[in-house]
A = this chain, B = another copy of it.
């Protein structure tokens, strides 16, 4: 059934192109008409592929989540020492700062817009996936350490959003290294 594949492929393509839009304008600030216009389709078409705005947003969140985890699970090849792994994590954050900030904003919006149990569970699950990916890539086990690294990354992304010129990601990551590896 090639039709279904086409349909799903088209759907994903639309989702991908929504990502930046939602990150920039926010859930409430972005209208279905606007989305349609930016994607070059009518609102009718949007409703053909998605049941509604919340549905579209939720699917997009799921989509980013998958994309992100996939990318995060690959930044360090196995067998490297911790210091080197931390360096690679640092490179990853520096390179993906913009899109990770966007993803964070969307997660926070998701938290607000989908405040039911399912939404919360999805967010927890997502956080866990991130933590898991970091744990695996850094080859660390202590959940508090992972959580701390996670905090650190989230904070860097937040500062990056609020004051992009002032945040020196590299210098900051160095400090984490100190904490973990010792001096």
Residues of A at under 8 Å CB distance from B? Answer: 24-29, 104-105, 107-109, 111-113, 123-124, 127, 144-145, 147-148, 150-156, 158-159, 161-163, 166-168, 171-172, 174-176, 178-179, 182-183
A-B contact pairs, 19 of them (CB 8 A): A26-B112, A27-B28, A28-B29, A107-B162, A124-B162, A127-B159, A144-B172, A147-B159, A147-B166, A147-B171, A148-B172, A150-B159, A151-B152, A151-B158, A152-B152, A153-B155, A155-B156, A155-B158, A182-B183
Q: How far is the CA of A148 from the CA of B151 in the complex (A)?
A: 11
Q: How far is the CA of A127 from the CA of B147 in the complex (A)?
A: 23
In chain B, what residue has the closest Cβ to A147?
B172
CB neighbours of A182 from chain B (8 A)? 183
List 15 additional contacts besides A144-B168, A147-B166, A155-B158; criterion CB under 8 Å. Answer: A25-B112, A26-B28, A104-B158, A107-B162, A127-B162, A127-B163, A147-B159, A148-B172, A151-B151, A151-B158, A151-B159, A151-B172, A152-B152, A158-B158, A175-B179
Copy number in this complex? Answer: 4
A175 and B144 within 8 A (CB)? yes
Q: How far is the CA of A153 from the CA of B50 in the complex (A)?
A: 38
CB neighbours of A145 from chain B (8 A)? 175
Determine how close the nearest CB of chain B comes to the CB of A63; give it in whole angstroms: 18
In chain B, what residue has the closest Cβ to A112?
B26
A124 and B28 within 8 A (CB)? no
